[in-house]
Amino acid sequence: MLYRKYEVAQTLPEALSLLSSHNGAVVRPVAGGTDLILQLHERILSADVLVDISRVPELRGIRLENGQLVIGAATTYTEISRSDLVLKNAFVLAEASKKIGAVQIQNMATLGGNIGNASPAADAIPGLYALQADVVVCGPNAERRIPITEFHQGYRKIDLNPGELIKEIRFAIPAEGTGTAFYKYALRKSQAISVVDAAVCVQLSDGVIKHATVALGAVAPTIIRSPAAESVLIGEPPSEDLFDRAAEAACQDARPIDDIRGSAAFRKYLVGVCTSHAVRSACERAA
Amino acid sequence: MDENNLIKMELTVNGEAVSMIVKGGRRLLDFLRDDLHLTGTKEGCGEGECGSCTVHLDGQSVLACLTPMERAIGCSVLTIEGVGSPTNLHPVQAALLDEGGVQCGMCTPGMVMSALDLLERNPDPTIEEIIEGISGNLCRCTGYKKIIYGIQQAAQELQAASPAGTVKESVE
């Protein structure tokens, strides 16, 4: 048995109350289950009670609110990659969603799950760093809004208290003239964990990069921004030479390790490859 | 909570209503194979990599090895047993046989379920789209080409068989 009891929450208050109503028991929320059920099956984690939050309306869907895009935590990658709001305003997230697992995983797995699982190779998170998104968490008494760069505190360490749930992601709609892109290097096109990936937002104004964010995945204990690459880009017109210099700068900010998917040296090289591809695509889309 | 974690599984499987008291806390894959004896759905890797356990849950392809069984309560599940029959194969199944897209057979049920999911969304897929559609399914025998050709053939047959007007707009 993977768990002793399964409870389905219909509303957010009910989900929060179910999460805190089992004294002494290990209670975990489950949405897509693609990480959790595997970790229970392989006994990496244990659980007494699972609280199914996949149908809680407050945690689902994508909407515009006061110039911000809001994505519910239990929204699946299939929903994100097909959303007109995402395709129009945050293409990087649609692009990344199509690279996660394959169709079946995209139908099941959720954005909130990717944030909570906090893998440094999580494919949806670099885009959220590049979009400067906030994570909204809610507990029995209050909501908190935390920049995603602070929500991920360290290797698989997140700023979430017992009894709290990841509710949604929010970010300002990028300004006019912004292009976004995600580029992933993995050993296969599908069903593969990133060796390195990069997500980029650039805003062009009069042919010059006015604003740039560069995020890198799988090269540090968490997803990271690359301030060095960003400062190379800002104030310059897009060119192949600029992309090369941004790639070099990004390599300086990466702190990769050796593991089964690639050596640290190979990853350093790939940071350049991924960064230049992503910056080039973002600039093309911004123009 | 019952001591033995007995739960009532009420759902639709392959178009038929199912209602039974079984042990909870397991995967949808275990419920289908061990309780319903629908052993067409295979366990390959058991960790969401190989696609052998692909079934449709309320019309979407999912991995039964990563789905808690209770998630399916009140839902409609389609497994390979609900697709065609030995004497009346679904066009996708027939085309996989025609093209030699079946060898050991372990991946075939999942492959068929993914192909059906693809063709429902996209009745006229390109080769690239077929490859993407089955990219969550591993086959260690065929090298994929015969499977891809089989799905392409089935798409053409299904397109030819569907009445005018129901076919998705094709690219000009």
Tell me, what's the pLDDT at A76? Answer: 98
CB contact (8 A) between residue B48 and residue A33: no
Query: What pLDDT sits at residue B1?
Result: 47
Q: Which of B7, B63, B73 sits opposite A104 (nearest CB)?
A: B63
Segments in chain A below pLDDT 50: none
CB contact at 8 A, A151 and A158: yes
pLDDT of residue B7: 97
Provide the pLDDT for residue A67.
Answer: 96
Q: Is the distance from CB of B125 to CB of B155 less than 8 angstroms? A: yes
Supply the CATH number for residue A97's domain.
Answer: 3.30.465.10
Domain span holding position A23? 5-52
Which residues lie closer than 8 Å to B167 by C-beta, 6 or more apart?
B123, B124, B159
State pLDDT tens for residues B101-150: 999 999 999 999 999 999 999 999 999 999 999 999 999 999 899 999 99
A231 shares a domain with A275: yes
Position B2 pLDDT exceeds 60: no
Percent of chain B with pLDDT over 70: 92
Same-domain pairing of A38 and A71: no
**Rounded to whole angstroms, what are the CA distances from B63 to A101, A110, A191, B38, B69?**
11, 14, 13, 15, 11
Total domains, chain A? 3
Burial bucket for residue A67 (CB in 10 Å: 0-12, 13-18, 19+): exposed
Pairwise pLDDT comparison (B171 vs B137), residue with the higher score: B137
- Going by their DSSP bridges, the two strands A157-158 and A165-172 should be labelled as unpaired
Is the confidence metric ipTM above 0.95 for this complex? no
> Is it true that domain B91-161 has CATH number 3.40.30.10?
no
What was the pLDDT predicted at B171?
Answer: 41
Write down the pLDDT at residue B170.
42
- Top residue of A51, A103, A193 to mutate, by most chain B CBs within 10 Å, is A103
Q: Are A62 and A158 found together in one domain?
A: yes
Query: Does the structure show a pLDDT above 80 at B169?
Result: no
* Domain-terminating residue out of A156, A172, A188: A172
Q: What is the CATH number of the domain that holds A264?
A: 3.30.390.50
Q: How large a percentage of chain B has pLDDT more than 90?
A: 88
Q: Do A1 and B49 touch (CB under 8 A)?
A: no
Between residues B168 and A23, which one has the greater pLDDT?
A23
Domain spans of chain B, in order of start:
6-82, 91-161
CATH code of the domain occupying B6-82: 3.10.20.30
Of B23, B66, B71, the CB nearest to A38: B66
